[in-house]
């Protein structure tokens, strides 16, 4: 997907019509998952199947191998960040989210994950900053608005 299409989809995320926003969100995820074509998508699917089967280490190994083969594949880093988060490895999740954001600064999923990881570590100001950055891209994402309120409440 070309840069002009991505910019249009990012603008659609700010549209007041939820149908327009949902379509744009789905198309961005599709573009990110398919960045490396069929091979990259196949490995992402296999890692998810491993995870669904309870093979966390197999999923992790597949993602790490994909990252070593395609270090510019932001979604591979993001999927591994999610895996780290689900395993309670919040610092590693933060590191992978930061890499995603270097590769794709508008990756609202990585910003959300970054906020969740910081919140899990009790670093509420950093979490709030990440959720706010996500809201700049997806202003109607109620979950991030809610998480900002929860983190703010924990500060007092």
Domain boundaries, given as residue ranges, for the chain:
3-155
pLDDT value at 63 more than 80:
yes
In tens, the pLDDT along 17-48 reads 999 999 999 999 999 999 999 999 999 999 99
Q: What kind and span of H or E run contains 73?
A: none
Distance CA 68, CA 23 (A): 32
Look over the chain and give the mean of its residue pLDDT values, rounded to a whole number: 96
Confidence tier at 156 by pLDDT (50, 70, 90) = confident
Confidence at residue 145, expressed as pLDDT on a 0 to 100 scale = 97
Distance CA 48, CA 57 (A): 11
Confidence at residue 151, expressed as pLDDT on a 0 to 100 scale = 98
Confidence at residue 3, expressed as pLDDT on a 0 to 100 scale = 85
Confidence at residue 45, expressed as pLDDT on a 0 to 100 scale = 96
Nearest C-alpha neighbor of 93 from the set 44, 54, 60, 131: 60
pLDDT value at 2 more than 90:
no
Topology adopted by domain 3-155:
1.25.40
- Rounded mean pLDDT of 111-131? 98
Report, in this order, helix, strand and coil percent for the chain, each rounded to 5. Answer: 80, 0, 20
Within 8 A by CB and 6+ apart from 143, the residues are 112
Confidence at residue 49, expressed as pLDDT on a 0 to 100 scale = 96
Confidence at residue 101, expressed as pLDDT on a 0 to 100 scale = 98
């Amino acid at each position: 997907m070309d840069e002009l299409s991505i910019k249009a989809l990012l603008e659609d995320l700010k549209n007041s019509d939820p149908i327009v926003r949902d379509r744009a969100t789905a198309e961005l995820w599709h573009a990110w998952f398919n960045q490396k074509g069929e091979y990259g998508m196949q490995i992402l699917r296999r890692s998810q199947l491993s995870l669904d089967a309870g093979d966390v280490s197999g999923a992790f190994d597949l993602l790490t191998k994909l990252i070593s083969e395609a270090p510019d594949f932001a979604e591979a880093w993001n999927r591994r960040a999610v895996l780290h988060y689900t395993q309670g490895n919040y610092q590693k999740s933060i590191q992978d989210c930061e890499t995603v954001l270097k590769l794709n600064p508008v990756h609202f999923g990585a910003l959300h994950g970054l906020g969740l990881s910081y919140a899990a570590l009790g670093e509420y100001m950093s979490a709030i900053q990440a959720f706010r950055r996500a809201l700049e891209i997806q202003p109607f994402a109620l979950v991030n608005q809610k998480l900002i309120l929860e983190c703010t409440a924990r500060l007092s």
